[in-house]
Every structure is written in C-alpha cells, then in structure tokens.
Amino acid sequence: MDYQSMLSLALPLGVAIAAVGSALGLGKAVGSAMEAIGRQPEAAGKIQTAMIIGAALIEALTIYALVVFFIAQGKIG
C-alpha cells in the first residue's frame, strides 16, 4: 500500500476516532452536570459555566481533527 492510499484511509479514520472520543467526553460531561444540578440546583449557574467551557474545549478537539483532515487532504493526489 502506497503513502497516498494509507493517508486517504487514515484521515477519515482519524476524524472518526476524534468524533467518537469527543462524543463520549461530552456525554460524560453533560451527564455529570445534570447529576450535579439535580443534587445542588442553586449551583446551576456555576455548573453551567464549567460545563460550557468543558464542552467548548471538547468540541474544539473535533474541529482541530477536521481542520487537520483538510490540511492533510491537500497532500492526497
């Protein structure tokens, strides 16, 4: 298998792995936030803020993977 075929296989696979990782992380974060708000409803604002920052960083990971995909895509054929 040549370099370009390997790259064209690895690129979507890499994005998919990043997306699955982000989905798992985001699911865990939201689940924990809901649990925490259920336990302490008065702290909802603080929990939301922490969750938004966490979610934004997790989301950024997938976006980085996608952008790397676009950058590396230029090297195929």
Partner 1 sequence: MGIEFLHRTLRTFSVVLLVFLPFGVYYFGVYPTLSILSGGVWGILNLLLLIRLVQQLVKPGGVESAKPVVLTLVLMVLLFVAGYFLLTIPRFEPWQLLIGFTGLFGILFLKALGRVLVKADSQPSAHSDIQKVI
Binding site for partner 1 (CB under 8 A): 30, 33-34, 37-38, 41, 44-53, 55-57, 59-60, 63-64, 66-67, 70-71
Structure tokens that stand for 37 in this block: 């708000």
Tell which residue, 61, 70, 76, has the closest CA to residue 20: 61
CB of 34 to partner 1, least distance (A): 6
Structure tokens that stand for 53 in this block: 């920052």
Instruction: Report the chain's C-alpha Rg in angstroms.
Output: 18
In the bound state with partner 1, the residue whose beta carbon lies nearer, of 1 and 36, is 36
In the bound state with partner 1, the residue whose beta carbon lies nearer, of 2 and 45, is 45
